[in-house]
Amino acid sequence: MDRDDCAGKKQEGFSVARMLEERGVSRRDFLKFCSTVTAAMALPATMAPKVAQALDKVQRPPLVWLEFQDCAGDTEALLRSANPTVGELVLDILSVDYHETIMAAAGHQAEANLEKTVKEFQGKYLCVVEGSIPMKEGGAYGCVGGKSHLARAKQVCGSAAATIAVGTCASYGGIAAAAPNPTGAVGVKEAVPGATVINLPGCPCNADNLTAVVVHFLTFGKLPALDSHGRPLFAYGKRIHDNCERRPHFDAGQYVEHWGDDAHRKGHCLYKMGCKGPATFHNCPTQRFNEKVSWPVAAGHGCVGCSEPQFWDTSPLYRRLPNVPGFGIEQNADKIGLAFAAGVGGAFAIHGAMNALRKDKEPAADEETKEGGE
């Protein structure tokens, strides 16, 4: 649906509800989608009606999607999101004016659409950036439509109401920024310091988190609360380790020692195989991928920490992290059990000593009572 069609339908009293009905999506399904997004944003369930109301009445801003030094993995993730039908509807409502991978226009026509959006909707459109931005040689290592990635980012991100950096490359530079970083690749915020940017790192970004950020912006007119790395707290506020289904095995000291061993087949903890879950903040265990079917750790591979800055250089993928606080590190179930047994034994010993002291005092107290009675 192009912008003229949207404008015409608005004049006729157009609403999201009517669009959904025309496309065969019931109001009930739409409300379910709003409830799912509300939960993804870590908001109380009572906010779901407000989200639905906002999507039904929102002034629909245009959206442009830029691809720089990337593998298009985030676009692929979007196209295979858990809620593809409604997710596409939300982006339809936003009027996606430019996206190199999925738009019908090409060449000069495509670039003209982008220029028109930036000019006519300055400060009102949303921008999504996928891929890192090369800074060396004045940005000469990346060019689209006769403009360098750096120049395009300054133009488009600098004029957007908000820019969403999807994936680790757009957030921090990604694999392209790995040492020795020959192109001088950086994330959007570093390339365009004055832009309003929210980072959604991950290889790839979880499309549910992207949808939640867009819905939050449409509902509240602002971006959600962010952490020190510019990531939304609702998606990056907790460690993967804290929500991992293998956490009980970590606490019990049950680890995979070699790929394919008995512990691996039983689903034990992957910490010793290099899992970076204890140092990585992301909601992968709860949001998951492939229609929420699975995620890397559930499939038997440790977390590589892809949502953290410089994960590609800070620690080899299959080298375990330094000791992490918790029962599981360098422990096993027997040692933990002995520690608990010693603690319980000590508690009983103290309890017994206190009882003995009380008994020693009780006769004296009885004698005082007798003397008072006399």
The annotation places the binding site for [4Fe-4S] cluster at 71, 169, 203, 241, 244, 269, 275
CA distance 343 to 36: 44
Residue 208: Cβ within 10 Å count: 24
Per DSSP, what are the bridge partners of residue 99? 65
Type of residue at 199: N
Retrieve residue 326's tokens: 């918790």
Type of residue at 67: E
CA distance 210 to 232: 10
Residue list, annotated binding site: 71, 169, 203, 241, 244, 269, 275, 284, 303, 306
Q: How far, CA to CA in Å, does 123 sit from each of 111, 170, 300, 337? A: 19, 21, 45, 61
**Bond prior to 248 in cis (omega within 30° of 0):** no
Scanning 184-332, the segments in alpha helix (DSSP H) are: 188-191, 207-220, 233-236, 240-243, 247-251, 262-265, 284-287, 311-314
Phi and psi, residue 48, nearest 5°: -55, -45
Q: Is-contact 254 333, C-beta < 8 A?
A: yes
Of 286, 203, 197, which Cα lies nearest the Cα of 239? 286
CA distance 91 to 229: 26
The SS3 assignment for 10 reads helix
Between strands 143-144 and 147-148, the pairing is antiparallel
The SS3 assignment for 189 reads helix
Residue 14: Cβ within 10 Å count: 16
Q: Is-contact 63 94, C-beta < 8 A?
A: yes
Residue list, annotated binding site for [3Fe-4S] cluster: 284, 303, 306
CA distance 242 to 42: 16
The kind and range of the H/E element at 79 are: helix 73-79
